[in-house]
Structure 1
Amino acid sequence: MKYYILAGEASGDLHGSNLMKALLKEDPDAEIRFWGGDLMQQVGGTLVSHYKERAFMGFAEVIMNLRKIFGFIKFCKQDIAQFNPDVIIFIDNSGFNLRIAKWAKQQGFKTNYYISPQVWASRAGRVESIKRDIDKMFVILPFEKEFYLKYNYHVEFVGHPLIDAIADRKQVDIYAFREEHNLGDKDIIALLPGSRKQEITKMLSVMLSVIDDFPNYQFVVAGAPSQTDEFYQEFIKNKNVKFITNKTYDLLSLSSAALVASGTATLEAALFKVPQVVCYKGSWLSYQIAKRIITLKFISLVNLIMDREVVTELIQNDFTRKNLVQELNAILKGTKKEQLFLDYFELEQKLGGKGASAKAAKLIVKDLQ
């Protein structure tokens, strides 16, 4: 069978790579062509476009790059038509993928979606177009199945692929890792400022501003694979902070706390049982627009899944050095830290256990057969 997979961002690349491995187990002769990243490329198949070329964040940034985005859409349609796949598999990245899905369905292609667009967060009216354009939807958050049922759309809950990604990773040698990166013997506080230039620019400097308030800890910035080391050095300069790129899981596995940009990383930190403060700051325009269309009580996946405040969220004007210091102190010691561990274990149970990629692949291949 021929599979065309469309993924964006580092998280889409991770989940796409695991789905590709599972598809190849189910269908060893699978021919896969994809938009993704380095992890998907390591599995095999043919990389058409790297997600780094399409890393735009926020409403204002997207508007500024519309011509480039429409060029990618046009090229993608041409490439799909030429490849003529048995199924197109969309992974998250709704702004791009839903436009392709509408066209693909009109052309008669079979359409599957793995990791739902976050229509439960804003513009729920998109569910109607998803029902029209997507033949099968595989969701990874427990509340999504119930959400879609309200619109009479049956979807499959397969569990969250991060559980597999974390469970299957090679265990790090803590002492060797500390020595390799010259981390010393202090407890570590990880800084995860996101993967896109815009969010890193908005957040990393504020995160770094708390270092002097915690002299007994070693701060470490987790670099994203989508950015160069030189880009981070503009912010780090001569500060007493270490920088480690593309080893976020290893870093989280030995961190005492973390400051985390809202997104998938909040769930990753929780699954590693790391006490965290969730941070978000966008451009003024992007934030004003988002505030008016997003209907959620929370922005972090941890709180959304638990349907209550488990981790503190510092958003926009609340994201200040003073508030970060206060919240970091709270999660580094005392009853708040203990409660977080209990909540994290409950969260993991809600996510449905291992095997998300395998379940999705089995359902995709079975449908084709």
Structure 2
Amino acid sequence: MPKPVKKIMLVAGEQSGDLLGAGLIQALRKIYPNAEFYGIGGERMQAQGFVSHYEMERLAVMGFVEPLKRLPELLGMLSGIKKRFKQTKPDIFIGIDAPDFNLKLEKAARKLGIFSVHYVSPSVWAWRQGRIKGIKKSVDLMLCLLPFEKDFYVKHDVPVAFVGHPLADKFELEPDQRAAREQLKLTDKQQIVALMPGSRAMEVGFLLPLMLNAAAQLKQRSPELFFVLPAANQARYDQVLQIFDGQLPDYIRLELGHSHECMSAADCVWMASGTTTLEAMLLKKPMLICYKWPPLTWAILSRLVKVPWVGLPNLLAAKEVATELLQDQATVENIVGAAERLLSERESAELKQLFHALHLELRRDASASAARAIAEHFEAR
């Protein structure tokens, strides 16, 4: 019988963390059915009976400089959670992603004897590798979603478990493009590009104008092209309408949500870096990865990064299988050139075979694997 666990505290910092947290709560309930779950989480976690003491969206900041603008608020949340450690005395604390925020909490929890878990490895293997010293002092267990991350932590003697990626469990091994097109009322005769400029306002502001200008040029050269643009949420939908000044060209369809259907229906995908690149890989789609950071953030980041790519398919494959256009390389001219190459090539059986193999490697029933790893390490402590 597992040790009794009465209270599990979790902190998620954005939508992807909310999704991971919801699946993890479901899996942990099967092991600890009487546990209480609380902390900071979004709608998906709250739908599992989770009690959120702060609005999760207030943690969703990016870059080096941007969080400074909200520093007093973030420090207040940090202090509030630390007080709850002493007031509520959770058995387990789980920080989901948001490492700059959660590692501070995990260190504080561990000092109080609370079993401390970090779910989703920060990119310490890619940049600022000196952070591993702080991580080692902060966590009792690191949960990794990607296989190459585990070796890094084993090398540095940090307790770690590779649990697979929840998205690999969610996506079918053989995507159905025709069904997706039927759902979106698109024809098999159309050549379709999905535009995925990101889920944050700043990302959309930087990337979407570039994508739209490139789309307009390509449409002039190839009249049969059609573009689908799924907005991540209502705020991004409204932002896109504002960028278009309310007048969308007839060759672009704006959707609220339906991002997976749009990608599945497409012949190729243009996207921001991030989790969306993994989704496109799981859908076996050729892709173009673009990204722009605020200038000062890029000046810092470009000097710290230790890996040759930012796209997850490239990192998993250990070679460039998706074109990356970052910062000054993310121009209309370069997007048009890369997109024409993608669209002119026939479907690559070799690329699909590679993406299929990577999909299988990541498919491990991640939520259940994570819950088991937490329980096993907690029991063994």
Q: TM-score, normalised by structure 1?
A: 0.91
1:35-54 matched pairs, under 5 angstroms: 35-54=40-59
1:82-231 matched pairs, under 5 angstroms: 82-167=87-172, 174=180, 177-179=183-185, 186-212=190-216, 213-214=218-219, 215-225=223-233, 227-231=235-239
Cα deviation for residue 335 of structure 1 reads 5.4
Decide which of 359, 363, 370 is 1:360's aligned counterpart.
370
Distance 1:310 1:176 in 2: 29
Partner of 1:273: 284
Q: Which moved more, 1:259-268 or 1:326-335?
A: 326-335
Percent identical: 35
Partner of 1:328: 339
Q: Which amino acid in 1 is paired with 2:30?
A: K
Distance 1:225 1:76 in 2: 28
Q: How many correspondences in the alignment?
A: 364
Deviations along 1:57-85, one digit per CA (max 9) or x if unpaired, are 11121222222221221122223333321
- Structure 2: gaps spanning 5 or more residues: none
- Tell me if the contact between 2:184 and 2:261 (Cα under 8 Å) persists in the aligned partners: no
Cα deviation for residue 308 of structure 1 reads 1.0
Cα deviation for residue 336 of structure 1 reads 7.4
Q: Which amino acid in 2 is paired with 1:67?
A: P
Distance 1:37 1:257 in 2: 31
Distance 1:319 1:59 in 2: 21
Q: Which amino acid in 1 is paired with 2:202?
A: Q
Decide which of 6, 10, 14 is 1:9's aligned counterpart.
14
Q: Secondary structure at the match of 1:58?
A: coil
- Tell me if the contact between 1:57 and 1:196 (Cα under 8 Å) persists in the aligned partners: no
Partner of 1:343: 354
- Tell me if the contact between 1:278 and 1:314 (Cα under 8 Å) persists in the aligned partners: yes
Decide which of 225, 244, 249 is 2:255's aligned counterpart.
244
Distance 2:114 2:233 in 1: 33
Distance 1:81 1:295 in 2: 39
Distance 2:25 2:308 in 1: 34
Distance 1:107 1:129 in 2: 17
- Tell me if the contact between 2:27 and 2:371 (Cα under 8 Å) persists in the aligned partners: yes
Decide which of 238, 242, 246 is 1:234's aligned counterpart.
242
Q: Is 1:310 equivalent to 2:321 in the alignment?
A: yes
- Tell me if the contact between 2:13 and 2:56 (Cα under 8 Å) persists in the aligned partners: yes
- Structure 1: gaps spanning 5 or more residues: none
Q: Is 1:79 equivalent to 2:84 in the alignment?
A: yes
Partner of 2:30: 25
Q: Which amino acid in 2 is paired with 1:188?
A: I
Q: Secondary structure at the match of 2:113?
A: coil
Q: Secondary structure at the match of 1:209?
A: helix
> CA-atom RMSD, angstroms?
2.3
Distance 1:248 1:81 in 2: 42
Q: TM-score, normalised by structure 2?
A: 0.89
Structure 1 residues 133 and 118, CA, compared in 2 at 3 Å: closer, same or farther? same
Q: Which amino acid in 2 is paired with 1:294?
A: V
- Tell me if the contact between 1:145 and 1:154 (Cα under 8 Å) persists in the aligned partners: no
Q: Which moved more, 1:316-325 or 1:145-154?
A: 145-154
Distance 1:307 1:33 in 2: 39
- Tell me if the contact between 1:123 and 1:293 (Cα under 8 Å) persists in the aligned partners: yes
Distance 2:256 2:330 in 1: 24
Structure 1 residues 20 and 246, CA, compared in 2 at 3 Å: closer, same or farther? farther
Cα deviation for residue 171 of structure 1 reads 8.8
Cα deviation for residue 176 of structure 1 reads 5.7
Q: Which moved more, 1:41-50 or 1:220-229?
A: 220-229
